[in-house]
Amino acid sequence: MHVAMQHMPLSELSYLLTLFKFTKVVRYYPEHVAEFTTSVIQILLSRSFGMHPEMRMAFLRAFMRLRTKNLIPATQAVDIVRKTLRHFLVSDIKRMNKCQKQTKVILSFLSKMIKDNSSTVAREAVLILLCLFKKNVWNDARTANVIAESCLICNKKVYVPAIQFFLGKSKALDEMETSSDSGSDVSRVTKIKQLRLGHRVGVKTKNRQKRLERSIKHVNKEKERKIRKRAELTNFHALNMLHDPQTFAEKLFRKLERCSDRFEIRLLILDLISRLIGLNKLVLLNFYPFIQRFLRPQQRVQSSDDFYVKHFSLAKHLLAD
């Protein structure tokens, strides 16, 4: 269904999607409802901003009509609308990035929205800033410090994505990139198709099948490697642009002492403070006795012990000096 819809002409596809009777017909074919709704949602999220306006409107109308017929759950519909609006805002800000006056106004507006009482509004503002920074639209020191300020917000829905961004563990941001960056996905799919078409020619043997599988794995790993490398470079670049890392680390530590969230979230704050100390050679002596309570035999996350042991050795050198 997804492939067939992509290769249809604009007029036919628009007519098919905007036809009111079509949504009535879909209900009587339950085996095709999930496939059709999934295709509409995927195209709307990944390809809507490169479409012709009439095509995009046709998909939106089809989406709304599917929702009115209860063929799409309400929670999923709200999430899709939110993601679509978020991608639209990011694309629009990227288009207006040449005008510095508008950029300053929008950045100040987003920084105010981060401090909003509504956690949903503040979280969306943070995610927009993270996406703009990672796409190299706003990758200056002012944006990095606004993101750092969001790490000090009390609501965990707001500060957790910001901390994960500095640590290179932002799942929400990765989902935004995978849904918006459709060009790389298309090239990856075409490469895999070419490999499989080349495999059809000639004698089929086990060695050729193994080579094909290795080539497909290499293509998939190449994409993951690019995403991981981009995340690491961006995060260290953001950490290096903080105006006052010492004060930021002290505020994070005070936040950690009063934090009553679950263990995984507290461990994220610990990890960010440790990275700040190691990167900027900060002095935060109360931090080392504090993390002793996390170094126990019954520790749930054992992979971070070596990381903290390094900072204990760093503390010894600081005290010796």
Mean pLDDT of the chain: 75
AA identity, residue 318 = L
Q: What is the mean pLDDT of residues 12-24?
A: 52
Q: What is the mean pLDDT of residues 198-206?
A: 76
Q: Which of 16-20, 168-172, 234-238, 273-277 has the highest mean pLDDT?
A: 273-277
Which is more confidently placed, 6 or 153? Answer: 153
Neighbours of 163 (CB within 10 A): 22
pLDDT for the residue numbered 317: 47
Q: Which of 11-25, 35-49, 91-105, 241-255 has the highest mean pLDDT?
A: 241-255
pLDDT for the residue numbered 219: 82
227's enclosing H/E stretch is helix 206-240
Distances (CA, A) of 319 to 199, 261, 273, 312: 64, 32, 19, 11
Share of the chain above pLDDT 70, in %: 73
Q: Is 265 helix (H, G, I), strand (E, B) or coil?
A: helix
pLDDT for the residue numbered 162: 92
Q: Which band of pLDDT confidence, cut at 50, 70 and 90, is reported for residue 247?
A: very high
pLDDT for the residue numbered 254: 93
CA pair distance 39, 13, nearest whole angstrom:
13
What is the greatest pairwise CA distance in the chain?
79
Domain residue limits, the chain: 10-178, 181-228, 244-320
Q: What is the mean pLDDT of residues 209-227?
A: 79
CA pair distance 161, 106, nearest whole angstrom:
20
- Specify the range with the lowest mean pLDDT, choosing from 87-101, 236-250, 303-317: 303-317
What lies within 8 Å, CB to CB, of 69 at 6+ separation is 23, 24, 26, 27
pLDDT for the residue numbered 159: 92
Q: Determine contact, residues 82/38, Cβ cutoff 8 Å.
A: no
Q: Which of 81-90, 162-171, 230-239 has the highest mean pLDDT?
A: 162-171
Phi, psi torsion values for 189, nearest 5 degrees: -65, -40
CA pair distance 275, 240, nearest whole angstrom:
11
pLDDT of 4 over the 50 cut: no
Share of the chain above pLDDT 90, in %: 12
CA pair distance 17, 40, nearest whole angstrom:
9
Record the tokens describing residue 121, joined without a space. 């509004």
Residue the block writes with tokens 């994409």: 223
Q: Is 124 helix (H, G, I), strand (E, B) or coil?
A: helix
Over its C-alpha atoms, the chain yields an Rg (Å, rounded) of 24
Q: Which band of pLDDT confidence, cut at 50, 70 and 90, is reported for residue 242?
A: very high
Neighbours of 20 (CB within 10 A): 8
Q: Which band of pLDDT confidence, cut at 50, 70 and 90, is reported for residue 171?
A: low
Query: Helices 182-200 and 171-180 sit at what angle, rounded to 10 degrees?
Result: 70
pLDDT for the residue numbered 148: 93
Neighbours of 37 (CB within 10 A): 20
pLDDT for the residue numbered 206: 80
Record the tokens describing residue 95, joined without a space. 């288009």
Buried b (16+ CB within 10 A) or exposed e, 113-128: bbebeeeeebbbbbbb
pLDDT for the residue numbered 97: 78
CA pair distance 171, 44, nearest whole angstrom:
21
Q: Which band of pLDDT confidence, cut at 50, 70 and 90, is reported for residue 182?
A: very low
pTM score, two decimals?
Answer: 0.65
CA pair distance 59, 38, nearest whole angstrom:
12
Q: What is the pLDDT of residues 44-69, one digit of tens each?
A: 777 666 666 777 777 777 777 777 77
Q: How many residues does the chain have?
A: 321
- Specify the range with the lowest mean pLDDT, choosing from 110-114, 118-122, 169-173: 169-173
Q: What is the pLDDT of residues 129-152, one digit of tens each?
A: 998 888 888 888 999 999 999 999
Q: What is the mean pLDDT of residues 242-253?
A: 93
